[in-house]
């Protein structure tokens, strides 16, 4: 049998083998590396894989760890965890709830708005969902909210940190797309390509993030009009109205200043994402200090949480690197190229198929796992078909936000289940997220039909 065909068959079997072992419950990082090494041994037996290919792995992984752009990841995680410990989220939720409490759906609106603000200032999905679940969910249930609407709003709003900058997913994706785009352009004979940066991806994701927030708010308002009993008003007590505006500005100004310092410096070209992340980390400590929440214990807890989350992401990256080497060296990239480039409908059909695959992978894999596996395999083919890398990156980011919401492995569902009242059925949480998953599909369709929503702002920012 043709060795090329054998290699491609093994690459395809390896991909499905990884999915199968993950469904059995094995850890992702070790599954990626273990299955890849197993198929590498089989490939060696058939003479279609050279073990010397692993010689590039140490330098490749050290390159990831010393990459200046990726240094922003632990800094942004530190910023998010520190802000969660400083209880800024709690103050925002309580104040916004009072501000919109007099209107039907007011608590739901406040959750969406606070979720967007926390996404722009922290980007840590787990902390956001848990915080809003602890504070807003009991208040919404006491006010008579439909449990499905309450849980759906909290889960969906908590995942906005995946797409609204500064998103750690966008940092990794921006770095990966920058390298892939350079290689593709050089292969096409363009030796001076326009660079793709994390800042471009941040700028491209800003309007889609606002689009998602608008869709969530529209749904809450729709429910307030069509089913007012599902989201009743919660009038503010008269004794609290006098200090409401003061409390609002006290709660709103600190995170807004931090957002302006971090995102404004990146989009304005004043600082790189790494520099802005360091400013954000220091700013988060300053805000904690001003709230008398900065102590050695909180600093220690924040550093441990940051190290844990960062280590988890990078160990997955190591497993994905092993997978990528074996898959590509056995001809899997050629198989993907032939499949995507031969689809009827051209480049847009290829993007649609990749988006569909990623959507279904979101049912069983985490966001980082998907981008580390799928982006290195599919992005070179799609960029070779002249797909805009910024549009592709943002489209993937919005798509993968659903991986936090879709059962059985939606992490936002687990976070909320962990802090929700015991008498709240898990089925209510699963049913509650369905309308918001559909809204995200609508958002993807809008971005697919109107790419300018993504590409306009990066062009303005870059001049």
Query: Could you state, in chain order, the average pLDDT of each consecutive group of 10 residues for the chain (463 residues)?
Result: 81 87 78 90 87 82 78 83 77 78 84 84 69 80 88 88 84 88 83 79 92 95 90 75 74 80 81 85 87 86 86 83 86 82 85 90 79 87 90 92 76 79 84 91 93 91 73
Global pTM reads 0.86
d(CA 245, CA 290): 20
Q: Which of 404, 320, 332, 411 is nearest to 18 (CA)?
A: 320
d(CA 77, CA 55): 32
Measured in whole angstroms, the distance separating CA 30 from the mean position of its chain's CA atoms is 22
DSSP per residue over 358-369, as a string?
HHHHTTTS-HHH
Tokens of 251: 């709660």
d(CA 333, CA 181): 16
Place of tokens 């797909």: 387
Tokens of 90: 């709690």
Q: Are 168 and 313 in contact (CB under 8 A)?
A: yes
pLDDT given at position 58: 83
- Which residues 6+ apart lie within 8 Å of 234 measured at CB? 97, 101, 102, 106, 107, 139, 143
Q: Are 447 and 440 in contact (CB under 8 A)?
A: no
pLDDT given at position 272: 83
pLDDT given at position 124: 63
């Amino acid at each position: 049998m043709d060795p090329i065909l054998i290699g491609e068959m093994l690459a395809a079997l390896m991909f499905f083998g990884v999915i199968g072992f993950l469904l059995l419950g094995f850890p992702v990082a070790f599954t990626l590396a273990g299955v890849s090494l197993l198929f590498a041994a089989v490939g060696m037996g058939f003479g279609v894989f050279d073990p010397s290919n692993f010689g590039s792995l140490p330098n490749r992984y050290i390159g990831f760890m010393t990459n200046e752009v990726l240094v922003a990841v632990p800094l942004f995680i530190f910023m998010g965890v520190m802000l969660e410990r400083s209880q800024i989220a709690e103050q925002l939720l309580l104040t916004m709830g009072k501000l919109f409490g007099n209107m039907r759906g007011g608590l739901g609106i406040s959750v969406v708005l606070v979720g967007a603000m926390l996404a722009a200032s922290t980007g840590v999905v787990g902390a956001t969902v848990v915080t809003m679940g602890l504070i807003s969910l009991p208040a919404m249930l006491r006010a008579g909210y439909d449990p499905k609407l309450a849980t759906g709003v909290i889960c969906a709003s908590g995942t906005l940190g995946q797409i609204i900058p500064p998103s750690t997913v966008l940092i990794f994706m921006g770095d990966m797309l920058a390298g892939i785009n350079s290689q593709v352009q050089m292969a096409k004979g363009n030796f001076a390509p326009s660079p793709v940066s994390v800042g471009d991806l941040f700028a491209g994701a800003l309007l889609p993030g606002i689009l998602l927030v608008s869709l969530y708010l529209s749904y809450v308002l729709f429910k307030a009009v069509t089913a007012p009993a599902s989201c009743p008003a919660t009038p503010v007590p008269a004794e609290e109205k006098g200090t409401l505006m003061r409390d609002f500005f006290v709660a709103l100004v600190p995170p807004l200043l931090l957002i302006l310092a971090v995102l404004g410096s990146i989009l304005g070209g004043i600082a790189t994402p790494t520099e802005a992340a360091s400013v954000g980390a220091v700013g988060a400590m300053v805000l904690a200090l001003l709230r008398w929440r900065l102590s050695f214990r909180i600093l220690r807890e924040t550093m441990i949480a940051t190290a844990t989350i960062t280590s988890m992401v990078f160990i997955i990256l190591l497993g994905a690197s092993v997978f990528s080497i074996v898959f590509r060296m056995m001809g899997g990239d050629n198989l993907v190229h032939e499949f995507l480039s031969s689809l009827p409908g051209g480049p847009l059909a290829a993007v649609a198929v990749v988006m569909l695959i990623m959507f279904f992978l979101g049912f069983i894999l985490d966001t980082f796992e998907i981008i580390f596996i799928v982006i290195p395999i599919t992005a070179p083919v799609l960029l070779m078909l002249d797909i805009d890398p910024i549009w592709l990156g943002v489209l993937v980011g919005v798509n993968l936000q659903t991986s936090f919401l879709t059962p059985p492995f939606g992490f936002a569902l687990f976070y909320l289940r962990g802090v929700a009242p015991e008498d709240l059925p898990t089925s209510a949480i699963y049913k509650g997220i369905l309308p918001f998953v559909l809204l995200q599909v609508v958002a993807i369709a809008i971005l697919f039909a109107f790419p300018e929503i993504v590409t306009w702002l990066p062009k303005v920012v870059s001049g």
